[in-house]
Amino acid sequence: MEVSTARRTGLVLIVFACSSLLHGSRGENSPKPTGSVTLLPPIVPDDGPQAFPDAEKANMPVFTMDYPRIQIPFEITMWILLASFAKIGFHVYNKITVWVPESCLLITIGLIVGAIMHSVHEEPPAVLNSNVFFLYLLPPIVLDSAYFMPTRPLFENIGTVLWFAVVGTLWNSIGIGMSLFAICQIEAFGVQDINLQENLLFAAIISAVDPVAVLSVFEDVSVNEQLYIVVFGECLFNDAVTVVLYNMFNFVAEMPVVEPVDVFLGVARFFVVGLGGMGFGILFGFTAAFTTRFTSRVREIEPLFIFMYSYLAYLVAELFSISSIMAIVTCALTMKYYVEENVSQRSCTTIRHVVKMLGSISETLIFFFLGVVTITTEHEWNWGYILFTLLFAFVWRGLGVLVLTQIINPFRTIPFNMKDQFGLAYGGLRGAISFALAFTLPENIGRKQLFITATIAVILFTVFLQGISIRPLIEFINVRRTNRNLDTINVEVHCRLMEHTMAGIEDLCGQWSHFYWKDKFMKFNNRILRKILIRDNRAESSIVALYKKLELQSAMEILDTVSGDISAAPSVVCLSEDKKGSAKPRKKFLAPDLKSMHEILSKNMYKIRQRTVAYTTKHALPNESQSREILIRRHASIRRSIRPGSFQSSTPSKSHKYFSLPAGKNLDSKFPPVRQSDTDDQETMSEAAYPSRHSRSVQPVRSSSSSRAMMPLRRLDTLTEVHSVDMVDESSGQDRGRPGRGTSRTNSASGDPQIPVRHRHGDNESGSADRSAEEEQRPSLAPPSWAVEPRDEAARNPLLRRPQWNSKV
C-alpha cells in the first residue's frame, strides 16, 4: 500500500507538471491573435514585408518558437498522454481496479486536474464540441464495442437485447421526462421555465446506459451468458437509440409548437433512421469483407480497410442523418467474421489492437474531461431538480427492467429470474455518452447549465456508487454463473453435438426457433456468402478450427525443436507424409506416431483457451495469453537450440549415427550408458548455467518429461489397443512382450516433442507434483549416480528420440 501511495504522489506530480506545462505555455500565448498570419512572432517586424532593405533584420533567427501553429494538436496530444499516464498509474497497483472501476479512477484524476486548473484560473480546453464528439470521439468507442461483441450469444439473444435497448430506452426517456416535467410544475423548485420538450431531451440524454464498468465486473465474476450479453448489447444499441432520440428531441425542442402529426413523423423517422443505419452498415460491411478478399498481396494496408470502411459507413450515415452508430455497429458485426478469415494473422492482431486502442483512448478522454469539466465549469445547482433526476433515473430504470422482463420472459427460453433482473437494473450506469451529449447541447436551451450539472451528478452518482457496489452485491446475491474457461476438445465436441441435436429435433418436431434459423443461415452462409467474400472458402466447423490451432501450435513447436536439435524431432508434417507412404511402413509408424501426436495434442489442450473471442473487457484485448505463450515458447526454443548445440558439436558423429540407426538394431547396445549420462550431465550443467533465464519454465521441463511421460503414453497405448486392431496389434504385442524396453522407448520417443509444451502443462496443471518429482529426480541426475541407472537415463535423454520404429522391425 505504501508503494502505491508513493506512486500515486508521483503520478500526481506528473499530472501537475503536464498541466502546468500546458498552462504556462498557453498563458504565454493566449493573448496573441491565433488567426493572424504572423507565424514567426519573434522576427516578423511590425512594418511587414517592406523591411526588405533593412539588412540587419533579415538575419537568420537562431531560435524561434511558434506555439500557435502547433497549439491544437499539441494540446490534444498532451491530454491524451496525460490520460494514458493516468491509466498506467491505475494498473500499477492491480487491486485498485478490481474494487474500483476504471472509470471512477479516471474521473477522479480528471477532478484532480480540474481542481488544479481551477486553482490557477485556467479554462478547460474547448476541444469537446459537438462535431469533435460525434465525428471523432464517438466512432472509436462504438467500433470497439461492436467489433468485440460476441456475435453468437448476441444473435441468440437478439430479441431481448433489442427489446431492452429500444423499448427500454424509450421507456426511460419518456418516463423520466414526464416525471421531471411534473416536478417542474412545483413552484418551490423554481424551474417552471423548463418545458416538456426540454425535459424529454434531458431524459433522453440520461437514459443512455454505459455499463463499461459493470461489464468488467460481470466478466470477473463470470455471470451467466444471457445477462452479460443483454447488458453488453443494450449498451451498444441504446447508444443508437439515444442519439436518435437526442436529435429528434433537439429538433422538437426548438419548435415552438408541436403538432400531433409531428409525433407520427417522429415515430416514422425513428424507424427510418434505425433501419437505414443498419442497411448502410450491412452494405459497407460486405464491401469491406469483399475488399479484403483481394488484399493478399498488400498485407500492410489490410487493417486500413477495416477502419476506413467502418468510418465511411459512419460518415455516410451521418450525411443522410440516419443512425450512424447503428451503421458502424452493423458494419463491424457483418465484416468481422469474414475479414478475420481473409486477412493475415498479423493484420488481424493489428486490427484488434488498434480498435481497442482507439476506443479506449476516446473513452478515457471523455471520462477525463468529465472530471475536469465538473470542476471548472460553472454549475447551476438546483437541489430539487437534481435530486429528483437521480431518483427518477433510478426508479424508472428499475421499473423498466421489471416490467419489460415480465413482457419478454414468456418469449425467452431461459427466463430472467429476479436476480438477473436486479443485475440488469443495477447495471444501468450512465457514462461517457450521456456526458458528451449533455455537454454538446445547443446554446439556445435555456437551462443548459442545469442539465449539464444534473447529468454530471447522475453520472458521478451511478459510476461511483453503483459501480463500486455492484461487485459485492452481485457476489452476495449469487447470480447464476457460467463457467467460461472451458475449452477442452470434449466440450467443443459436445457443444456441436448439442447444437446439431437441437436443430435436428426441432426439425423433427416441426418448430422453428433460433436453432432452425441458425441452421438456415449457416447453410446460406456456407453456400453463398463465404464463396463471395472469403478467399479460401472452405466451410469449417469449430472443432476443426480448434484442431487446426492445435496443429499449428504443434507444428510451430516442432519447428522450434528441429531448429534446436537437428532433425531429431518427429513432426506432424513428417508423420502425415509417413502415413501417405506405402502401406507397410505405415502400419509400423502409425501407432507410435499417433501416440506422440495425441500426446502433443492432449498436452496442448490445456492452454488453448479463448477460441471464441467471447468475452473481452472493455480495456483488454482478447487472446493475449495465447500470443504471449507462443512467445515464451520461442524463447524456450532458442535456449534449447543453444543448449544441445554446445554438446552436439563435440560428439556429432555419435549422435548422428544414433539418429540414423539402422532398422532392427538394438538401441541400447548402440548407445553406451556412459555417453548418455554424459550428455545428461552436460544438460544439467547447462541448465544450471542459465539459472536466471526463465528458470521456472525450464526446470519443470526435465522433470515432467521424465516423470510424466509414462502415464499418458501407457494410457494411450491401451486406448489404441481397444479399438483399432488394424494398426496396433503388432506394436501392442511387442510392447507386451518387452514391457520394460517398450515403455522406455516410447517414453524417449514421445518425451521430446513435448518439451516445449510440457513446461506449460507442468506449470499449470500439475506444477506442484512436478516440482516434487523434480526434487526426487535431481539427486539421481547428479554426476556420481550416472552409472547407476543408465537405462532410465536413456528414457529421459532428449537425444534419444523417435527411433523406435526402427527397432520394431
Q: Which residues, 693 to 712, sit near another protein by CB under 8 A?
A: 710-712
Of 430 and 745, nearer to another protein (C-beta) is: 745
Cβ(145)–Cβ(211) below 8 Å: no
Binding mask 493-512 for another protein (x = CB under 8 A): xxxxxxxxxxxxxxxxxxxx
Question: Which residues, at least 6 apart from 61, have a Cβ–Cβ distance to it below 8 Å?
Answer: 40, 42, 43
- Rounded Cα–Cα distance for residues 293 and 341 (Å): 9
Shortest spacing between CB 341 and another protein, in angstroms: 13
Sites for another protein among residues 185-244 (CB under 8 A):
224-226
Of 121 and 538, nearer to another protein (C-beta) is: 538
DSSP character for 785? G
Of 539 and 631, nearer to another protein (C-beta) is: 539
Write phi, then psi, for 436 (nearest 5 degrees).
-65, -40
Residue 531 near another protein by CB under 8 A = no
- Rounded Cα–Cα distance for residues 138 and 131 (Å): 10
Q: How many CB atoms lie within 10 A of CB 263?
A: 11
Of 7 and 481, nearer to another protein (C-beta) is: 481
Shortest spacing between CB 754 and another protein, in angstroms: 13
Binding mask 585-624 for another protein (x = CB under 8 A): ---------x--xxx-xx--x-------------------
Of 69 and 523, nearer to another protein (C-beta) is: 523
Shortest spacing between CB 535 and another protein, in angstroms: 14
Sites for another protein among residues 49-78 (CB under 8 A):
none
Cell of 392: 427518477
Shortest spacing between CB 71 and another protein, in angstroms: 55
Of 415 and 767, nearer to another protein (C-beta) is: 415
Q: At what angle do helices 432-439 and 448-460 cross, to 10 degrees?
A: 170
Shortest spacing between CB 735 and another protein, in angstroms: 10
Of 619 and 741, nearer to another protein (C-beta) is: 741
Residue 583 near another protein by CB under 8 A = no
Of 267 and 486, nearer to another protein (C-beta) is: 486
Residue with cell 462504438: 142
Shortest spacing between CB 578 and another protein, in angstroms: 12
Give the range of 41-49, 489-497, 623-631, 797-805 binding another protein by CB under 8 A.
489-497
The alpha carbon of 740 is separated from its chain's Cα centroid by a whole number of angstroms, namely 49
Residue 721 near another protein by CB under 8 A = yes
Binding mask 731-750 for another protein (x = CB under 8 A): --------x---x-------
Sites for another protein among residues 391-410 (CB under 8 A):
409
Find the binder of another protein among 107, 358, 372, 550 (CB under 8 A).
550
CA distances from 389 to 159, 177, 239 (A): 30, 9, 20
Concatenated DSSP letters of 200-265: HHHHHHHT-B-THHHHHHHHHTTB-HHHHHHHHHHHHHHHHHHHHHHHHHHHHHH-S---HHHHHH
Cβ(245)–Cβ(204) below 8 Å: yes
% helix, strand, coil for the chain, step of 5: 75, 0, 25
Residue 719 near another protein by CB under 8 A = yes
Label residue 394 left, alpha or beta by phi (over 0 means left) and psi (-120 to 50 means alpha).
alpha
Task: Pinpoint the alpha helices (H) of 54-188.
Answer: 67-92, 94-99, 102-119, 130-132, 138-147, 151-156, 158-162, 169-184
Sites for another protein among residues 92-131 (CB under 8 A):
none
Residue with cell 467502418: 310
Shortest spacing between CB 727 and another protein, in angstroms: 11
Of 38 and 526, nearer to another protein (C-beta) is: 526
- Rounded Cα–Cα distance for residues 430 and 451 (Å): 14
Of 475 and 499, nearer to another protein (C-beta) is: 499
Shortest spacing between CB 780 and another protein, in angstroms: 19
Shortest spacing between CB 712 and another protein, in angstroms: 6
Residue 792 near another protein by CB under 8 A = no
